[in-house]
Structure 1
């Protein structure tokens, strides 16, 4: 179990991609994506350690439907495997890549690390630990080990993609993983339910 009112010194709150483009009105809006932000900020106040991830794509990124002249949300096969083709989103330096305004005055202030992902032109990145080729490390696992952090508590967007794969990889890397369900939202509600079930089956604690 975990006491969210008094987290341990070896716990880290990992806030996944709380960015403008994933909130209502954004290029890849997650339904109710802005709703967890106050909850995330309140949690960040309680944790001694906070990490934020930030989707950070170059223009013409390989995961963008526009790069392939394809319809958004269609699928293709790339050298590293199956790939959903997304609307252009979280483009480096653009307003949509910025953190949600509530996060900028909350969890971001508490963050010890902001980890940018998805910046390699030829490979997408869902997980905070690996690019989608499953061989390119982001460096997060090494950082957590060096700091003696053992349990990752996941919140943010989107539950059925970046949150799920980050939590799965945390477990695979030997960390404990906790999902705070009411501090996430999914692109597809059915996908969100499946993500929760999959994480619980792999040993994650669902709060």
Structure 2
């Protein structure tokens, strides 16, 4: 929810990097919000600063007082109950800077033929979702939003992959496997090779080099060499090892092997991941959770995903929010990437990361 901000959008002009990095800008910020002219910000003045920072079209987002107080106390390093100029400088570069200068990537998870019209089509799953519905939504984001990077993840399994129901008899089941006989599609087993990991058994899908593994024909694939917006492009392949699955675009399910995605994103300085794709409650959810664990600011595009089970999608979304992700609609993305719509949830996630590492 928002409320009219009496201070207006003080921060929009500081989207100019030269102006932002000028130390006098911090002094001007202090003067602007220091209503009692004591050369510092008390809690109420700090709250007004936050209301101006986290706003959209002149309307401030509401922030829980407990969260305001937590940030205030963290940056009040000398614990005098005031944010002095040097403390505001810390806040300026560690919270305001990523708010005004995020590096944004669109991460498109597994929008592949087999999940839309092929062997593991969502139409045959409990949700009965049509994965093709998200393709025009994603294409519109690609066409209209100036992301720095577009990333595509691709499920890329060998034919003998352990997640395939067709291969269940090719590996020894662990003693603690919940099912050992009369095993069916969508059952979960545990293999002896990985005794602590449940493996859901899916129909064979996204086999390397097959049509089913290709990205959907209507999904736009950006060419970095000809892209008019000059965006970088990343392709990441996952689930490539026979004996262990990889729902996440970052790690396999045992977290023994890491894909190239995190390294590629960090090289480009990416801070914010806008995530969409298939399946919302499996690969999209696992990718989003790992992104949060790697300290990315995660924005989950609700109308840009389809999944296996509607109830599980809701559970996964609740879990993502509880861990710091922001759920939005695709119509909100343009203003967020352009920093006209600045959400406090993302800054608070940045703050929690700082607090965990005790980096004042």
* TM-score in terms of structure 2 length: 0.53
State yes or no: 1:12 paired with 2:105: yes
C-alpha distance in 2 between matches for 1:127 and 1:2: 32
Unaligned runs of 5+ in 2: 1-53, 57-99, 123-128, 170-182, 225-231, 329-360
Superposition map of 1:139-150 within 5 A? 139-150=260-271
Instruction: Identify the residue that residue 56 of structure 1 maps to in structure 2.
Output: 156
Secondary structure of the structure 2 residue equivalent to 1:52: strand
Pick aligned residue for 2:134 from 24, 32, 36:
36
Superposition map of 1:162-201 within 5 A? 162-201=283-322
C-alpha distance in 1 between matches for 2:148 and 2:136: 18
Instruction: Identify the residue that residue 121 of structure 1 maps to in structure 2.
Output: 242
Give the drift of 1:52: 0.1
- Counterparts in 2 of 1:84 and 1:162: CA distance versus 1, 3 Å: same
Give the drift of 1:26: 1.2
| Structure having greater relative contact order (Cα 8 Å, sep ≥ 6) | 1
Deviation string 1:155-202 (CA, Å, 9 cap, x unpaired) is 000000000010000010111101000000111111111111110110
Secondary structure of the structure 1 residue equivalent to 2:281: helix
Give the drift of 1:90: 0.3
- Counterparts in 2 of 1:2 and 1:10: CA distance versus 1, 3 Å: farther
Q: Aligned pair count?
A: 201
Contact 1:75 1:82 in 2 (8 A): yes
Secondary structure of the structure 1 residue equivalent to 2:290: helix
Taking only aligned residues, the RMSD between alpha carbons, in angstroms, comes to 1.9
Contact 2:234 2:264 in 1 (8 A): no
- Counterparts in 2 of 1:177 and 1:2: CA distance versus 1, 3 Å: farther
Instruction: Identify the residue that residue 215 of structure 2 maps to in structure 1.
Output: 99
Secondary structure of the structure 2 residue equivalent to 1:164: helix
Give the drift of 1:139: 2.2
State yes or no: 1:67 paired with 2:167: yes
* TM-score in terms of structure 1 length: 0.91
State yes or no: 1:22 paired with 2:120: no
Give the drift of 1:2: 10
State yes or no: 1:86 paired with 2:202: yes
C-alpha distance in 2 between matches for 1:126 and 1:174: 19
Pick aligned residue for 1:205 from 316, 326, 337:
326
Secondary structure of the structure 2 residue equivalent to 1:66: helix
Instruction: Identify the residue that residue 77 of structure 1 maps to in structure 2.
Output: 190
Unaligned runs of 5+ in 1: none
Give the drift of 1:44: 1.5
* Structure with bigger gyration radius: 2
Deviation string 1:110-164 (CA, Å, 9 cap, x unpaired) is 6711111101111100001101111211121121111101011100000000000
